[in-house]
Each structure stands twice: as C-alpha cells, then as structure tokens.
Amino acid sequence: GPEVDEEATQEDLEYKLKGFIDLTLDKSAKTRQAALESLKSAFSSKLLYEFIMERRMTLTDSIERCIKKGKSDEQCAAAGLACLLCVQMGSGIESEEIFKTLGPVLKKIVCDGTAGVQARQACATCLGICCFIVTDDIMGLYSTMECLENIFTKAYQRDRDTNGVSSTHNTVLHVSALLAWTLLLTICPMNEVKKKIEMHLHKLPSLLSCDDLNMRIAAGETLALLFELARETDADFFYEDMDLLTEKLRALATDGNKHRAKVDKRKQRSVFRDILRAVEERDFPTEMVKFGPERVYIDCWVKKQTYEMFKEILGSGMQYHLQSNDFLRNVFELGPPVMLDAATRKTMKISRFERHLYNSAAFKARTKARSKCRDKRADMGEFF
C-alpha cells in the first residue's frame, strides 16, 4: 500500500489527545473517565515525550482533580494515567514535580478507609511505581514505604481460624500494597534492606495460609525476593525456621485440595515450585522476553518483580517501551535504543500468510511427536 505520512499521523494523534485532555475537565463523570482511559491507551502504546512535556502541568492538575473528586472507577483511571505519565517522563526533574503534587493525594486515598477498595488498590500501585521512577529523595522513599507497610501489615493482624487467615474484601488492597512495597525495597540502601528483612521475614509466612490465591503468591514471591537480597548482603545468611517454611512452601507446590479450582491449583503449584527452589536451593529459572531483535533475560527475583509491575501498568505496550523508552531500558540494563531503518524493520516482519503456514507446520509436527509418545506410554517401564 502507499506509504503512510508519519508526520500527518502524529499531528492527527496529538489533535485527538488535546481533545481528550480538555474532556478530563468535563462535568460528566463518564466523559472524564472515557477521556482518561483514551489517554492511558495512547501513553502505553506510544512515546510522546515532547507532547507531554508541554502539557505536563495541565495533565497533573487534571489527574489530581479526578483523584480528589471522582468516584472509584474514575480514581482508578486517573491513578493509572499518573503511572504512565511518570513512565513517559522518566527519572528526571519533571517526574519529581509530578510526584510532589500527586504523592500526598495518592497517600491520602490509600490510607482513607472510606474510599473504594479498587481506588485504594490503584493508588497503592501508582504510589509504588511513581516513587520507584523518582527515587532521588531517600526520605520520600522511606515515607512511601511506611505508608504501604501500614496497609499490608494489617493482613498479619487479622483473626486466624483453624483454616488459616480468613479472607476479607481488603485482600486485593493488601496484595497491591505488598507488591508496591517490594518494588521499592529493591532500590533501598543495603542497611535499610537488612532492617526490613529482620522486620518482615518472620511475619510473611503467615500470609501463605490466606484463602486468596493472589495473596499467597504475592507473599511467596516477596519471601523469595527477601531471601535473595538477604543472601546478597550475607552469603552465610541463616533463617531459623527454614524447615517449617520449606514444609509450607512444599505443601503449596504440591497442593491437591479438591475445593480449589483446577486453574488456581495449576498456577499455584507452578509458582511455588520456583519459590521453593529459590528458598531451598538458591536457584532461579531464567526467563527470556523477546522484543523486536532484542532480548531481556529475567534472571533473578528483583528483575522479575520489577518486570511484572511495569507490565501490569503498560500491558501490551510493554514490548514497545522496552524497545524505545530510555528509562525502562536503563532499569533493565539494555543500553540506548537500537535504531532500525524502515527497510530493516520490513525484512524482520513476516506476512500473515507465511505466519499461518509456519504455525500449521509447527502444529502438525507437535501432533506427530505427541502421538509417538502416547503410543509408547505403555512400554515406558522397559526403559528403566
């Protein structure tokens, strides 16, 4: 087809975005929320540094107003947009100014027991990610961590029955606060990391008995990360209740409870097998993420937690930002963006028809291989 005029397309996009920014001030809550969602979609799928740079104060004011005065859904959308705004700006003075304005508002919602749980959850995640991006003010970092601690430590204090920790409607908030706190722990100085490990390592295992799958997984992954950090600071690190902890983790890695959904059991067993290996054997199963011609290797719990948090915010735009966003490339030690000309990009793409043929061939090969394995199942004993 004819070549697309990129400059005209960019102008058209910016014109639409200006309209959405204006609509964030509309009287209708539905219109404001729709405008916030449209801006989120654009910010997660494209780098718009110059466009945002000129309007960052206007955007910050709109987000602040929506978080302060909006209902739960609008607050969630505004908090998500605040994250993306900082991701676009990177770790410079602009992000610091945004966080100075929005940080106190986010903390207020997170700590407000009368606010909606979903809004508090979104604000807790936003607080963690924005603080992670800014990072320069160490006292601000500690203050944010303390705010998040005050939320998730309430999960330690809940009444326990014979089946473990009883589930409450605030569990989703506790999970988000714990994950955001864990992200910030990865950028703390080592003396502070040691204090936090001493404070939480003996309490976190109690959350492994929670009825909620996401809380069990969040607690398990945080434990794996704490052990990783503890062993980095002290190669001879010793945990007194190791036998009890590994017993709990092994039970979750082999859980066969019939009252749990099959999908939940499968996910739990897969995650806790990795957590058990990390705690018991100091091992991490390396994952590789492909984006364009590049790769990022997730080879430790710190990288895994960081990747998962940003993926939650950026969604399908994660790969694009890994390719083009200087801040994210810096976080994952990828160096400056790889510049590819249009001809190279075109040769890297494969047509839809070629992709269909490749998938069909791969499917047939898999089917044949599995059929052969199935035929031999009855004779497996002969090989031992």
Phi first, then psi: give them for residue 221, nearest 5 degrees: -70, -35
Our CA angle for 335, 312, 94, nearest 5°, is 55
Question: What H or E segment, with its residue span, contains residue 160?
Answer: strand 160-161
* 241 against 81, higher pLDDT: 81
Cα–Cα distance, 142 to 175 (Å, whole number): 19
Share of the chain above pLDDT 90, in %: 64
Between 187 and 258, whose confidence is greater?
A: 187
Q: Which amino acid would we find at residue 218?
A: A
Which one-letter amino acid corresponds to residue 141? L
What is the per-residue pLDDT for 255? 79
Location of structure tokens 């908030």: 173
Whole-number pLDDT of residue 11? 87
The closest of 139, 61, 40 to 105, measured between CA atoms, is 61
Q: How many CA atoms lie within 13 A of 100 on its CB side?
A: 9
Residue 51 has pLDDT above 80, yes or no: yes
What is the rounded distance in angstroms from the CA atom of residue 148 to the CA atom of residue 182?
A: 10
Mean pLDDT value across residues 26-33 = 94
Amino acid at 282: R
| pLDDT band (50, 70, 90) for residue 384 | very low
| pLDDT number for residue 371 | 66
Contact between 32 and 23 (Cβ < 8 Å): yes
> Out of 208-212, 232-236, 293-297, which region has the weakest mean confidence (pLDDT)?
232-236
> pTM for this one?
0.84
Residue 46 per-residue DSSP state:
S
**148-168 residue pLDDT tens:** 999 999 998 764 443 444 446
Residue 341, pLDDT above cutoff 60 = no
> Could you tell me the CA-to-CA distances from 268 to 128, 206, 214, 217, 274 in Å, in that order?
25, 17, 9, 7, 10
Which residue, among 120, 127, 154, 125, has the nearest Cα to 141 in the 3D structure?
127
Residue 353, pLDDT score: 67
Q: First-to-last CA distance in the chain?
A: 60
3-state secondary structure of 174: helix
Cα separation values, 52 from 64, 90, 136, 270, Å: 16, 12, 22, 41
In this prediction, residue 285 carries a pLDDT of 84
The yes-or-no verdict on residue 363 having pLDDT over 80 is no
The residues, any chain, with a CB within 8 Å of residue 258's CB and separated by 6 or more, are none
The percent helix, strand, coil of the chain (3-state, each to 5) is 75, 5, 20
3-state secondary structure of 366: helix
**What angle is formed at CA 26 by the lines to CA 24 and CA 28, rounded to 5 degrees?**
115
Separation CA 6–CA 323 (nearest Å): 19
Question: Nearest to residue 70, comparing CAs of 82, 62, 60?
Answer: 62
Largest CA distance in the chain: 76
Which residue, chain included where needed, has tokens 């939480």? Answer: 200
Q: Which two tokens stand for residue 104?
A: 């106190």
E strands present in 255-305: 287-291, 294-298
The arithmetic mean of pLDDT across residues 353-368, rounded, is: 70
User: Other CB atoms closer than 10 Å to residue 94's CB: what's the count?
Assistant: 19
How many CB atoms sit inside 10 A of residue 336's CB?
8
- Long-range CB contact pairs, 20-29, < 8 A, 24+: 21/55, 21/58, 21/59, 21/62, 24/62, 24/63, 24/65, 24/66, 25/62, 25/65, 29/70, 29/71, 29/74
Q: Which residues, in sequence order, are CB contacts of 223 under 8 Å at separation 6+?
A: 201, 204, 205, 245, 275, 279
Boundaries of every domain in the chain:
8-146, 298-363
pLDDT at 355: 63
pLDDT band for position 100 (50/70/90)? Answer: very high
Neighbours of 113 (CB within 10 A): 7
Pick the CATH number of 8-146 from 1.20.1250.20, 3.20.20.70, 1.25.10.10, 3.40.630.10: 1.25.10.10
Cβ-Cβ contacts under 8 Å for 136 (sequence gap 6 or more): 91, 96
